[in-house]
Amino acid sequence: MDRIYDLIIIGCGPAGLTAAIYAVRAGLSFLLLEGAYAPGGQAANTGVIENYPGLPGIQGSELSEAMVRQAEGLGASITEAEVAGIELLPEGVKRVCCRDAKAYEAKAVVIASGTSHRRLGVPGEEELEGCGVSYCAVCDGAFFRGRTAVVVGGGNTAADEAVFLAGICKEVKLIHRRDTLRADRILQERLRALENVALILNATVEEICGDGAVEAVLVRNKTDGTVSRMKTDAVFAAVGTEPQTEWCRGLLDMDSVGYIRAGEDCATNIPGIFAAGDVRTKKLRQIVTAVSDGACAIKSVQEYLNAWS
Ligand code: NAP
């Protein structure tokens, strides 16, 4: 092993990039690891962001690129590496092991590995992923210009996706399993004002049908139990997210879903390992709370390193 860094940051979304910005300024030696995807995390695939203070209306990709530029401009460099696990070595050293068999060592680790899209878990979803089934309207919506799309979910993401797709598609159907959406009121109002968006409430998607491409969904009406076939060219699933923590299960305390238990100081149950951003237990998962975590995590890392013997 060549060297022991002060810190390894895992993940290049808003939390990881903010941690990198603060780590440079704190004079720490560190590695910033990012998996197979482009840096920026989920924010990079978000359309217009209206609630990031000071930058009203910025595109998610633009904000992410600006964060990457800022971190790199200060001297941080991103190493492509998919992390497979962390080993605890004597004297508090942590070894971060990667899928390509490389390993890196540090005194402290900030886990900012974020979340991934939850699947619907219905027949046809897996087979038709990339052939009409998508989890990102900003990424794939343009393929369905002038066509019909179904969005599944009732949260802010589903509402955002439906509004975005309404500007591209001929017709959008938002299917939600309850009789009310949980999306912010401003998004709901925007959605209801769109003539080419239909809300189908109290309904679940039972199956996605198609031979090589999405052709229809089977929709169960929860009120009367009937199932009907609804034609569509695409299905955008927006039913929430799951923490990307499979690789560190058994090492860190997690809640029942797999979010790493950590408070505002980002400290986990293992001294020197911190969790920042969407990956930790918290009330509100937003870009603004992720960047806050990135900064707080480095404050905690500094305190931990100051006590390092
Ligand atoms: P979310 O708030 O957890 O909403 C997920 C939605 O999917 C819920 O309506 C849920 O139904 C539904 N759902 C879950 N599993 C399902 C299944 N198997 N089948 C059908 N429906 C299912 O997730 P999100 O919308 O992705 O948002 C995640 C976080 O990012 C939130 O904190 C959100 O506020 C934030 N966000 C914010 C913005 C913004 O501020 N503009 C934009 C995007 C995301 P129930 O309602 O029945 O539980």
Three-class secondary structure assignment of 73-95: HHCCCEEECCEEEEEECHHHCEE
The question of whether 209 is a catalytic residue gets the answer: no
What's the 156 CA to ligand 1 centre distance in angstroms? 6
In a shared domain, residues 199 and 264:
no
Q: What's the CATH code of the domain at 168?
A: 3.50.50.60
pLDDT given for residue 36 in this prediction? 67
Kindly state whether residue 126 falls inside one of the protein's structural domains: no
In a shared domain, residues 91 and 228:
no
Q: State the closest ligand 1 atom to the C-alpha of 160, by its place in the atom list counted from 1.
A: 42
Kindly state whether residue 127 falls inside one of the protein's structural domains: no
What's the 104 CA to ligand 1 centre distance in angstroms? 36
Kindly state whether residue 123 falls inside one of the protein's structural domains: no
Please report the sign of the dihedral spanned by the C-alpha atoms of residue 9, residue 12, residue 13, residue 19.
positive
Residue 119: DSSP 8-state: P
Could you say which residues of the chain have pLDDT below 50?
Answer: none
In a shared domain, residues 112 and 253:
yes
In a shared domain, residues 225 and 206:
yes
Domain count for the chain, please give it: 2
pLDDT given for residue 41 in this prediction? 84
Domain boundary among the residues 184, 210, 237 is at 237
Ligand 1, pocket residues at CB < 6 Å:
51, 118, 120, 152-158, 160, 177-178, 182, 238-241, 284-286
Domain boundary among the residues 179, 210, 237 is at 237
| Structural domain harbouring 164 | 133-237
The question of whether 12 is a catalytic residue gets the answer: no
The question of whether 139 is a catalytic residue gets the answer: yes
pLDDT given for residue 1 in this prediction? 58
Of 6, 12, 140, 233, catalytic = 140
Secondary structure (H, E, C), 215-234: CEEEEEECCCCCEEEEECCE
Which is it for strands 241-243 and 171-175: parallel, antiparallel or unpaired? Answer: unpaired
Enter the pTM of the model.
0.88
What's the 121 CA to ligand 1 centre distance in angstroms? 16
Owner of token pair 């031979």? 211
In a shared domain, residues 145 and 247:
no
Of 6, 12, 98, 136, catalytic = 136
Domain boundary among the residues 190, 205, 237 is at 237
In a shared domain, residues 143 and 217:
yes
In a shared domain, residues 10 and 107:
yes
Kindly state whether residue 198 falls inside one of the protein's structural domains: yes
pLDDT given for residue 48 in this prediction? 85
